Amino acid sequence: MNNKYYASLRKRFLILIIGVSLTPLVGISWSTAYYFHKHAIKHVTHDLERMVSTRQEIITRSLENQKEQLARLLRLYSSEDLKNQSNLERIFVALSSDSIIDLSVIDGSGNHVAYVGPYSEKLLSQNYKETQWFQDVMHKGSYISDIFSGFREVPHFVVAVVNPLRNLILRTTINSDYYNSLLRGAQISVNGDAFIVNRLGELQTQRRFGEKTISEEEARLLTFHEGTQVNSIKNNLYVTSWMKDGEWLLLVKVKRNSVLKMFLEARNLDIVLLIIASLLIITVSIMIVRQMVNKIAKADYKRASLDSQMLQVEKMASLGRLAAGVAHEVNNPLQLITDQAGWINELMDDEDPKKIKNIVEYQASVKKILNNVKRASAVTHKLLGFSRKMETEKENVDINILVRETVSFVEDEANKEEISINLDLQDEIPATMTDAAQIQQVFFNLINNGMDAVEKGGSIDISTTSDNKNIIIYFADSGPGIADAILDKIFDPFFTTKAPGKGTGLGLSICYSIIKKLGGEINAKNREKYGSVFTVILPIVNLTNRVS
Amino acid sequence: MNDFKVLVVDDEKDFLEMTVKRLSKRGIDCQGVQSGEKAVEKMKNYHCDVVLLDVKMKGMSGIETLREIKRSNPLVEVIMLTGHASVESGIEGMKLGAFDYLMKPMEFEPLLEKLQEAYEKKNS
């Protein structure tokens, strides 16, 4: 067997089967993971966008409310009323909000004219005419500052509104803790954060883990955009929304793995299942391919064996035809030699023996010619017998005759090698309908093998016996026997123990096939003391049996 | 033995001449022809008792000749003789009514005995 060929076949089958099985599996797993991930991202993004949008709206409304409240006070009260300290205190009490720290009234020249709150001593002497916020509020009508600590050393921001006549400003200070608490609810996931920065990236609210600045990657998000936007940077998702006319950016940061936890768990399970399924497919594929290729190899092996047998049969048939032709061509001249020699004899009978000087020599020569023609004739008759046996039809065969005839073929060679062939044939063995030519080939092969096995002076014992159903023929030799390890392989095609070039390894395989085909059995075992014995069991088939 | 008439049919000229010569020497009325066609023709005028017929010949084969002889002269005994041991032709010959089937090379004495047996069968 060509092992490389079958190894390559095995490899190709494996690649094909595993490829065909795993490709759709991997494809399905990948597409499922891809679309699940896409859906999860979409879902998470949607939730985050909604949350950020809501928070942004709440903060924006809260700031607007502060502004609206101050504008309403300016509309409700006259300038004089608001400049009155006791009035302002009543209004402050009426506002009664945790987030409002103080309330100031500033005139059009920037002078602090009334104040309610904890820092009256410091603030009442202040003039704000040159400050940016004052100019902004005078210019725009209202103002909301960034968050700063100032001299109060508490993060806060101010909201200021000027009356239509631009001569009175109401200003209130808002504690930024209120917004910190508003954003705390948006700090989702374990490592998540939510904070507000201004355009310069300065924090307007506290960060969850106390950072005082924003990172470089967070700084890259400080680009104005409408609505809410989701950005994926490294392992984080950032949801951003600009507010306060683009002055503040609400930024919510979540760890991607935290929000996609369910997806990641499902994906990991998917990967584990994929690995298990792949391993199963590979294992089963290897087993199936191994079995399949072994079967192909066996079938090839069997076919090669049958081809060899067919070749052998063809060769034998050709040899038979050749033998018949040779016999015919030789028999005709032999007939002539016989006739001519006989004719000489007859003519000499007519002569006077005394007148023929060498008559005795002539008669002896003619006799020798006739004897040698007989010898040659015996050879041609054997050839013709051999030729006839090449025909595959079954006939009534006397196994003992067949054994004797086969032995006669090898007798000369056996004598030359000083090998004795001993026959112990059962008398009156029943004849059987079988293929004489094929059986003779089996006997011939077994005797030849025996002769190869024994040394000079060895022996081959052939015996026949029968019971009601079978004829049994034993071929025992005095050779070294067969090693136990190879005893079950000797009938395999191409198995030989002979030196290279001396045996084809087909002899016993052909014997096995022939006997099996004829419904018999053949086996080999070692004799108790030395040598091996081959047993051929042939069923007794007669015409009656055959018809029935 | 002059009543005993034998026709030898064989395309081997040497064999034919020698057999005719030896049979004639034994006092048998013997004629020889080299083909099946000639044998059939010869037998129209030559009423032999036994035909010694080669199976494998050029032209009309031994079996065809046998069939023709038996058709026109059913009482004539035919001995088939050949150098080729074809079982089929032997069986066919016997089926067509041949007396026997002999293999070359055949010694003269056994051949003579076989011819004698055929002659006796014919006249029995």
Tens digit of each residue's pLDDT (9 = 90 or more) over A463-495: 999 998 899 999 999 998 888 888 877 887 666
The Cα A368–Cα A446 span in angstroms is 37
Q: Give B56's contacts in chain A (Cβ within 8 Å).
A: 328
pLDDT digits (tens, 9 = 90+) for A230-242: 888 888 888 898 9
Residue B118 and residue B99 in contact, taking contact as beta carbons nearer than 8 Å: yes
DSSP class per residue in A419-446: -EEEEEEPTTPPPEEE-HHHHHHHHHHH
Residue A334 with chain B: CB contacts under 8 Å:
104-105
Q: Does A388 touch chain B (CB under 8 A)?
A: yes
Mutate to test the interface with B, among A321, A332, A374 (most CBs of B within 10 A): A332
Report CB contact under 8 Å: B22, A342.
yes
Both tokens of residue A153? Answer: 């050393």
CA distance A465 to B83: 37
Interfacial residues of B (vs A; Cβ cutoff 8 Å): 12, 14-15, 18-19, 21-22, 25, 56, 82-87, 103-108
Distance CA B121, CA B124 (A): 5
With an 8 Å Cβ cutoff, are A335 and B105 in contact?
Answer: yes
Could you tell me which of A92, A90, A126, A121 has the C-alpha nearest to residue A109? A126
Upper half-sphere CA count for residue B115 (Cβ side, 13 Å) = 27
| Inter-chain CB proximity B14 and A336 less than 8 Å | yes
User: Is the model's pLDDT at A378 over the cut of 80?
Assistant: no
What's the whole-number average pLDDT of chain A?
A: 84
A343 touches chain B (CB under 8 A): yes
- Average the pLDDT over A318-333 and give the result: 77
Q: How many CB pairs under 8 A join A and B?
A: 65
Between A542 and A40, the more confident residue is: A40
Q: B83 to chain A: which residues are within 8 Å by CB? A: 327-332, 335
What pLDDT sits at residue A349? Answer: 85
| Angle at the Cα of A27 from the Cα atoms of A21 and A33, rounded to 5 degrees | 135
Distance CA A90, CA A246 (A): 35
Domain A77-175: give its CATH superfamily: PAS domain (3.30.450.20)
Mean pLDDT of chain B: 88
The rounded distance, in Å, linking the Cα atoms of A39 and A481 is 78
Nearest CA-CA partner of A370 in A341, A396, A398: A341
Smallest CA–CA distance from A350 into chain B, residue = B25
Whole-number pLDDT of residue B84: 65
* Per-residue tokens: A11: 């490899």
CATH 3.30.565.10 placement within chain A:
392-547
Listed range (A2-11, A143-152, A169-178, A409-418) with the worst mean pLDDT: A143-152
> Helices A359-389 and A436-453 meet at what angle, rounded to 10?
110
**CATH top class, domain A3-63+180-259:** alpha beta
pLDDT score at B75: 92
> Any alpha helices (H) in A260-358, and if so which ranges?
261-350
What is the predicted pLDDT for the residue at B87? Answer: 54
Closest residue in chain A to residue B55, using alpha carbons only:
A328
Find chain A residues with C-beta within 8 A of B107's C-beta: 338, 342, 370
ipTM over the 0.95 cut-off: no
Q: What is the largest CA-CA distance in chain A?
A: 195
What's the farthest any 2 CA atoms get from each other in chain B? 35
A381 touches chain B (CB under 8 A): yes
Per-residue pLDDT of A38-79, as tens digits, reads 888 888 888 888 888 888 888 888 888 888 989 999 999 988
Whether A83 and chain B come into contact, CB under 8 Å, resolves to no
Please check whether residue A242 is in contact with residue A225, taking contact to mean a CB–CB distance below 8 angstroms.
yes
Q: State pLDDT tens for residues A411-437.
A: 878 888 899 999 999 988 898 988 887
B28 to chain A, minimum CA–CA distance in Å?
15
Domains and CATH numbers, chain B: 5-123 (3.40.50.2300)
**Which among B110, B113, B63, B108 has a CA at the least distance from the CA of B90?**
B63
- Specify the higher pLDDT residue, B94 or A372: A372
Pick the CATH number of A392-547 from 3.40.50.300, 3.30.565.10, 3.90.1150.10, 3.60.150.10: 3.30.565.10
* Start and end residues for every CATH 3.30.450.20 domain found in chain A: 77-175
Question: Cα A331 vs. chain centroid, distance in angstroms?
Answer: 71
Enumerate residues 6+ apart whose C-beta is below 8 A from A452.
A498, A502, A503
The pTM (predicted TM-score) of the whole model is 0.44
Residue in B12, B19, B85 nearest the CB of A332: B12
The rounded distance, in Å, linking the Cα atoms of A183 and A173 is 19
pLDDT at res. B39: 96
Subunit contact A342:B87, Cβ cutoff 8 A = no
| B7 — pLDDT class (breaks 50, 70, 90) | very high
